[in-house]
Structure 1
């Protein structure tokens, strides 16, 4: 009897000592921490944290997401994405493919026949098939372009929130947060052929996974961006060029300013991130201030990032460079009047890419770099670039004219490499 009593007492104590299951933290009202990059400057970035209960939405399909975005209105709002949302769907939720958007007699076969450079030449495409392509592209844009307005937080629930086929566009809006979301495959059904007088044109596509244009105070955190589903490397060659279906993963252009991109993953893509969109856009001077920290660039061919004009702080990022030097172009693009300040970043490649391949300059004049690791060894990317170019006009100086002050703790490149491998991307917010 005594033994039974002791056993029961021990069992009850065991139950009492088990801690209650903690509720999952609601990240939807999180705001950017102080000093966390350029987006913390001035008023900081709070997104939709001030939204009332009537403007907190949980959405599971495109129709619900469109209603919650409210045409890109400035009303404070929080939008939680649950599960997978496909932007290429009709109003009933049925999937749409490229044939469903085609109109005016457009067909890929007819388009290729009409503008074959061997018969069409180097003139810009015009005529019935180009008009049909434009009309078809407009039909797709009505479905996949999703405007994000000011004072908005867009957040994925759990570790499996996916938005596929969409182009999130923050146009002339301010105070926006995008977090914990896998944004993939902004697939353009109707790329346009752009010939040139040099004999080799290229295919131009319409959609970035996320596009900031004229946007200010934006925080993008723990987001995964890729072409998953339709990688461009599997597309055929047309007119001697890869038949591209995707543009950038995240482009920051047209005077966008005060942006922090943190703990995000950019994967398996050609042109990852463009900051500043033209050498002659002098109105970008004094803007395009961007911080990139604790991000992973995995198998990205180029633009990680490419910078014009902006003051960009790039620290504690992890690069897994493609192993084939023929497929890889560069990681850091130093372009017109850019001021790129790179600290403690780690680059790893299993193949033939060399440290001299990591930086490329077009009209750029300066690059600050320190604490860089390449395959585990310290390297000076500036010295390597200048030695490789041997006194050419692409020589760079170390003085970029500014020193970052808004940042989190800057770890060694080796420590950051390990942290980012474990923690970057959607579904990994602690």
Structure 2
């Protein structure tokens, strides 16, 4: 295994060297890259209305039935001294790649002194974003942010409608941003509740245009899709606890709208040491669907890495690609994503669900209980390789309650319609085996589930170097390192 890891790293290094010199992702943000953040973070307090498509019925409006214990802050426990905030992303995932060359994701690391912000509430966060625009910026979050609070966290008003939540309850991060949480004096991570973090948006070239038509015309004219002017690029998010929003007025009883983090038409994104869950408003508090994805990567987004993060107590976790053939115009050849060092615990599904993407998962810990009576903690299903996806999974550790080895396939790993799938080096342990109580150590699960390459052409190698731990080391490494609060 060690030899194979070294060989893989060597191949990736040679590929990177052949690809070209490192490019600061900041330089890929052109003058025409749109700044769209000003439309978000402003409450309109509108009444709920049924939209033209018959969605978001006012009868389905319901405020969040529970609120968290707030941990607002007024002072910076670091005294303003920066520690990890200027760090750039490591070169160990798809975020470090581009069709133009090997990329260094710098986020806001080059921020000048007047573009380093420390914020304690939602209005300060929005003001910092709008002031800096696409310039490199570092935004340090301290305490607890929720866009439902105003007047320096002294006035609380629940979202009044879908539109109020969609615009006023979302924060759009522009290009060249580092958004980090700073632990408080007690070591608790900064927290964001009731607020969607948006990275990018699928836009036309000009107001009134059609994104799909404009992009197709751009490509038909022989232009590089990487130069299409509406990308959001070069984002770092670290050390934040994020509670996925309760949707006060979902589309219908089965489909909510608000995500925790939504990456849409964006590239060169590094998300590290983040914790996402439903927080104090789990699905069990409603008879219908009130949460959408925790972290979705959709609409042509590319070169994204999610690392060292913890996800728990949530239903539909992560989409990589949100449609089949109808999204080929934006997604074919894109949606390159890496997931490494993450802990997926007590989740409903989509760990992740992949369409089109070339996705690499390694050294993640997946745990859960398939028989618990608590619906918020019951494991539903795991990785789902779908339409034209190419998935490489390496050295995962699977730890379960009551799930038998014979039930592993179809429950933890499944797929259909994919172009290619490779899986190796995993370990599986549970509280029972196929004949009774589990006896002995974790067992290997290589070659399971019937997911194999459709053709040799899909036998791709990640073009970046990475440190692949044995699966036996994955559990201890991930539990010690994953999630918010582990930095500074």
TM range (shorter): 0.7 to 0.9
| Displacement after TM superposition at 1:76 (Å) | 1.2
Structure 1 equivalent of residue 194 of structure 2: 165
Q: Which runs of 5+ in 2 are unaligned?
A: 1-79, 201-230, 430-441
Q: Distance in 1 between matches of 2:415 and 2:132?
A: 37
User: Does the residue aligned with 1:415 lie in a helix, a strand or coil?
Assistant: helix
Q: Compute the displacement of 1:150 (Å).
A: 0.2
1:272-308 per-position Cα deviation (integer Å, ceiling 9, x unaligned): 1100110021121111111110000011111011111
Structure 1 residue 373 displacement after superposition: 1.0
Deviations 1:238-273 (A, max 9, x none): xxxxx1211111100011111111100111111111
Aligned to 1:339: 390
Separation in 2 of the partners of 1:407 and 1:211?
A: 27
Offset at 1:321? 2.2
Q: Deviations over 1:74-130 (max 9, x none)?
A: 1211000011112222355345454xx43xxxxxxxxxxxxxxxxxxxxxxxxxxxx
After the TM superposition, which residues 6-405 of structure 1 pair with which residues of structure 2 at under 5 Å, given as runs?
26-33=83-90, 35-41=91-97, 42-70=102-130, 73-91=133-151, 93-98=153-158, 101-102=159-160, 136-158=161-183, 159-171=188-200, 172-193=231-252, 202-232=253-283, 234-237=284-287, 243-280=288-325, 281-283=327-329, 284-324=331-371, 327-352=378-403, 354-356=407-409, 357-375=411-429, 376-380=442-446, 383-386=447-450, 397=454, 400-405=458-463
TM-score (ref. length: structure 1): 0.77
Partner of 2:468: 410
Structure 1 equivalent of residue 49 of structure 2:
none
Change in 2 beyond 3 A, CA 1:25/1:52: closer
SS of 2:171's equivalent in the other structure is: strand
8 A contact 2:169–2:194 mirrored in 1: yes
Partners of 2:234 and 2:343 in 1: CA distance? 24
Q: 1:24 to 1:377 in 2, by over 3 A?
A: farther
Instruction: For residue 43 of structure 1, report the CA deviation from its aligned partner.
Output: 2.2
Unaligned runs of 5+ in 1: 1-22, 103-135, 194-201, 238-242, 387-393
C-alpha contact 2:244 2:294 (8 A) present in aligned 1: no
TM-score by length of 2: 0.68
Structure 2 CA distance for aligned equivalents of residues 268 and 47 of structure 1: 29
**Cα drift, residue 205 of structure 1:** 1.0
Q: Which fold has the larger relative contact order, with Cα–Cα distance below 8 Å and residues 6 or more apart in sequence?
A: 2
Query: Which protein is bigger by CA-based radius of gyration?
Result: 1
**C-alpha contact 1:275 1:310 (8 A) present in aligned 2:** yes
State which drifts further: 162-171 or 356-365: 356-365
State the Cα distance separating 1:396 from its structure 2 match.
6.1
Question: May I ask how many residue pairs the two structures share in their alignment?
Answer: 350
Matched-pair contact (CA < 8 Å) for 2:121–2:152: no
Matching residue of 2:74: none
Distance 1:398 1:297 in 2: 30
